[in-house]
Amino acid sequence: MKRLLPVSLQNVHLEDDFWAPRQQLVRDVVVPYQWKALNDELPDVEPSHTVANLKIAAGEMEGTFHGMVFQDSDLYKWLETVGYVLAIRPNPELEALADGVIDLLARAQQPDGYLNSYFTVARPDARWTNLRDDHELYCAGHLMEAAVAYYQATGKPKILDIVRRLAEHIDRVLGPEPGKKRGYCGHPEIELALMKLHRLTGDELYLRLAKYFVDERGREPLYFALEAEARGEKRVRPYNFKYSQSHQPVREQTSAEGHAVRAVYLYSGMADVAAETDDEALLAACRRLWEDIVSRRMYVTGGIGSSAYEEAFTVPYDLPNDRAYAETCAAIGLVFFSHRMLQLEADAKYADVMERALYNGVLSGMSLDGQRYFYVNPLEVWPEVAEHREDMHAVRTTRQPWFGCACCPPNIARLLASLGGYIYSVDPDTNTAFVHLYIGSQAAVSLAGQDVRLIQRTRYPWDGEVQLQVSASAQAEFAIALRVPGWARRVEVRVNGQPVASSWESKGYVYIRRVWRDGDTVTLSIPMPVEEVFAHPEVRMNAGKLALQRGPIVYCLEEVDNGRNLQSIVIRPGQTWTAQYEEGLLGGVVTLQGSGWRDVIRPQGEAVPREFGHGQPLYAFQRCAREETKVKAIPYYAWCNRTPGEMTVWVRYES
């Protein structure tokens, strides 16, 4: 199966006003902060006990296991982040700290290769008895991802040796052969991790295991039912097999169901297996599931998973704003899935979704200072009501310093640290370099037998002007493919200042093939007007409302700029918005400023309207009066970094 090859993180250096400071924040603030959290050194934060659990498992501490059954995975994602940070810039002190963690993992690993602190400490006789709920394979997968990242950054094999022994142990326990359990994980993740190991080492064991986990899922008899029966499980409510995407074989699934993070992790692993094995049926399933997500189940921010119950997809077009779950990890998983599909089919629609999630649904999950996090990402917040809801976790109005279930903080850190690996791809068969994301950077690639450096300069996402300079020691013929964002009304492409005569467009990319010389420069100009976004009519909660978008950035209104009761604001479609860069606001953002109206009560006998207050009727036979008001919108990702208050993405409109 033909596929693009992503340009690796090691060959891309970010030089971007928007993203480079965020990578620096991960390196200088987020990684040390999260290490303190994992090591129970943050004051006024519930202890994580993650490092302590492994020390107990290694026999180096007395104590009992504390935390979630998958607590180890938080440390593994932190270690993966460290690998990406070291790949970008050496740091001897951080590397020594990570080496110490790896040494601890080696000491905690059991003689048979098993490694999981929860079962080693708390339930040594229950290993591999509840794959549905107990996350053993999920934790193993995150350790495998960390091993690949750390080895690629440092060349040190110790962590690879640990995961090799663990994978060999898993292969002895699980599989289709006689005497093995025909099981798979309740929380997919190991599938994509095994594929990373396979691509790094070439070892067919990892491909075989990944393919088995994908192929076996959902086959009759359903393993999770057999496993529960063997445990003597009695449930008040029958288990929902859709929750873990195990209700039917993956090639037969036509809609995204169940826990959103599990879903997109599974689909990412499916795409990897399809690519490696030329499995067209599996690829077709990936296409169907991706289309179902983005056309019927995705928020305008790129968030997915609308229900707090089971953190799941519900029915098509059910996208409530104030009860949106939209877990940060789910948006991250959608980036993973879209990036993999993009390598299989050079179609800009995958990059469009990847970009939408990155700039909106992912970035909103972490505060600008890197020390507060959202687990869930609502599109509308009324703080006073949120305080009284039972599902309060789904409507947090302030970011938290850490979580008892802390999957999101290290997840966003590892994605931001590895962002360089998502910008470019190469098609070696056609000698084509693809530019998927517009991020200031330098990329080293091989094209037409030449070492070529692509130097990208831009102020994106605030400005749509992109320059791509070619640096090469000798001239060579190859193609450069530039993505035309789905939100763009038109683009202009020039080479060395002149309109391009020999270019063509295919699936959202402009291709320019020519003999390139050192210093040749491509300029892509993308106008960035303020766009009004309207939801599909089936999205009932957005009827009569619109959202604002400029470039890839989705905007929202906050109470601090617009006053309370944001739902009383009405704007008119087609009005003029002023886009203004404010350097001193929220780390430097483009804000949108316009005018609208606010519904108010005009008491009898008073000429000057005032906002609704005590003593006014709850219902009346005439509509509210309106007064003109100024409206200011900020990027959604930056909300809740100032005075807490109301927020909304969707705003009422009247023609």
Selection from 579, 645, 565 nearest residue 610 by Cα = 565
Q: Return the bridge partners of 610, or none.
A: 601
Per-residue tokens: 473:
């020691």
Whole-number Cα distances in Å, 645 to 365, 383, 567, 591, 624: 17, 6, 13, 18, 24
**Distance between CA atoms of residues 15 and 456, nearest Å:** 8
Q: Which structure tokens are listed for 271?
A: 């795409």
- Is 531 known to be catalytic? no
3-state SS of the chain: helix, strand, coil percent to 5?
A: 40, 20, 40
The catalytic position among 257, 311, 558, 559 is 311
Q: Is 375:644 a contact under the CB 8 Å cutoff?
A: no
- Give the active site residue among 329, 407, 408, 640: 407
Torsions phi, psi of 613, nearest 5?
A: -140, -175
Under DSSP, the state recorded for 358 is I
Of 458, 468, 462, nearest to 493 by C-alpha is 468
Q: Is 622 exposed, middle or buried (0-12, 13-18, 19+ CB in 10 A)?
A: exposed
The total of other beta-carbon atoms located within 10 Å of residue 111's CB is 6
Packed helices 190-201 and 260-277: angle between N→C axes, nearest 10 degrees = 30
Neighbours of 375 (CB within 10 A): 22
**Structure tokens belonging to residue 35:** 């290490």
What does the alpha-carbon distance between residue 517 and residue 508 come to, in Å, rounded to a whole number?
A: 26
CA distances from 481 to 365, 470, 506 (A): 31, 13, 9
- For tokens 């999770």, name the residue: 224
320: left (phi over 0), alpha (psi -120 to 50) or beta: beta
Strands 569-571 and 651-653: parallel
The answer to whether 258 touches 293, Cβ cutoff 8 Å, is no
Query: At a CB cut-off of 8 Å and minimum separation 6, what does 572 contact?
Result: 596, 653, 654, 655
- Report the C-alpha gap between 436 and 544 in whole angstroms: 34
Cα–Cα distance for residue pair 52/57, rounded to 1 Å:
9
In terms of Cα–Cα distance, which of 87, 68, 226 is closest to 142?
A: 68
∠ CA 384-387-388 to the nearest 5 degrees? 100
**Cβ neighbours of residue 476 under 8 Å, at least 6 residues apart?**
447, 448, 449, 450, 452, 515, 516
311 is catalytic: yes
With a CB cutoff of 8 Å and minimum separation 6, the contacts of 621 are: none
Task: Please state, in angstroms and rounded to a whole number, the distance separating the CA atoms of residues 541 and 318.
Answer: 8
The helix or strand, by DSSP H or E, that contains position 456, with its residue range, turns out to be: strand 450-458
Residues identified as active-site = 311, 407
